[in-house]
Amino acid sequence: MSEHFEQPGDGFDDIREKLAAALQLDEGVAAPSGLSTSVDAALAAERGVGAWLSSRSTGLRFALATLAVLLAGAAGAIKLRVDAGAYPQIRLMIELCVPLVLALLAIGRWLRPMHKPPPSIPLEIPLLVLMLVALPVASALMPSAHAGHPASLLGVGDDLAKRALGCLMYGSALGIPVGLLLSGLGRRETSLLLATAAGALAGYVGLFLHCPITGRMHLLLGHMTMPVVASLTALVVVLIARRVRRGRRGS
């Protein structure tokens, strides 16, 4: 039976080995008839860059995911917030590091090898609550970091909606592509929101490094909402793309 898992593939040998280990397919264990044929057919149906990426080792995929998150954050720093010198440095580091750590934790859960047993303590929902609700709400409701730069006082009155929408779009433009990439690095059908939420937090970090406005209403409307909007948008795109691919395979 193991012969089916020793055939050369298009970069999917690693996946076959993991499936074999998970199913305990060796010379002394019989498998349901046609199982390996179905597995090989499913793997053969996967083609393109996304399939190649998802077939790489877990370590390489985690490294690529980390790089994508850091690049999105760095993109926001290309035009660094003009009040960076006035922003309290300890708070600045905290507001940078917390979302990055949460994003990396989510990526680790998302890329967890499929053949490993599920963790004894399910952390997906608490992690998502922290990423999409607790963190952005707490950041927006904290006392204003400072009022020592003219640009930090913008985004009020008639200017509120325009600048808040601009920040929402800016952060989403950074986070959605990362979420799409992260979703392509994994092979799970579940927990997909972990990938898109991690991408959204990458955009959130980029937005934080770019926008100098510290007013509470601006942060509530333009920054707090951004992770949810970006992660759900990326999630919908991924689900639609997967459905289209399944339809093509079935036709």
Q: Which range is most confident: 4-8, 16-20, 245-249? A: 245-249
Predicted TM-score (pTM) of this structure = 0.78
Lookup: tokens for 155: 């985004």
In tens, the pLDDT along 144-153 reads: 988 889 988 9
Tell me the mean pLDDT in the region 197-214. 97
Instruction: Give yes or no for a contact between 172 and 63, defined as CB atoms under 8 angstroms apart.
Output: no
Q: What is the residue type of 203?
A: G
User: Could you give the C-alpha distances from 199 to 32, 106, 241, in angstroms and in order?
Assistant: 39, 10, 17
Q: Which of 105, 136, 158, 148 is nearest to 216 (CA)?
A: 136
3-state secondary structure of 23: helix
Would you call 236 helix, strand, or coil by DSSP?
A: helix
Residue 192 token pair: 């997909």
* Contacts with 34 (C-beta within 8 Å, 6 or more apart), sequence order: none
- Is the per-residue pLDDT at 1 higher than 50? no
Q: Which residues contact 60 (CB under 8 A, 6 or more apart)?
A: none
Q: Which helix (H) or strand (E) holds 127?
A: helix 124-129
**Residue 245 gets which letter from DSSP?**
H
Q: What element of type H or E holds 167?
A: helix 160-185
Q: Among 53, 66, 51, 57, which Cα is nearest to 107's?
A: 66
Is 107:62 a contact under the CB 8 Å cutoff? yes
Query: Looking at residues 66-82, what average pLDDT do you find?
Result: 94
Assess whether pLDDT exceeds 70 at residue 7: no
* Separation of alpha carbons 151 and 155, rounded Å: 9
Cα–Cα nearest to 179, from 204, 200, 161 = 200
Mean pLDDT over each residue of the chain, to the nearest integer: 83
Judged by DSSP in three states, 129 sits in helix
Residues whose CB falls within 8 Å of the CB of residue 229, separated by 6 or more in sequence, listed in order = 168, 172, 200
Share of the chain above pLDDT 70, in %: 77
- Looking at per-residue confidence, does 42 or 171 come out higher? 171
Split at pLDDT 50, 70, 90, the class of 39 is very low
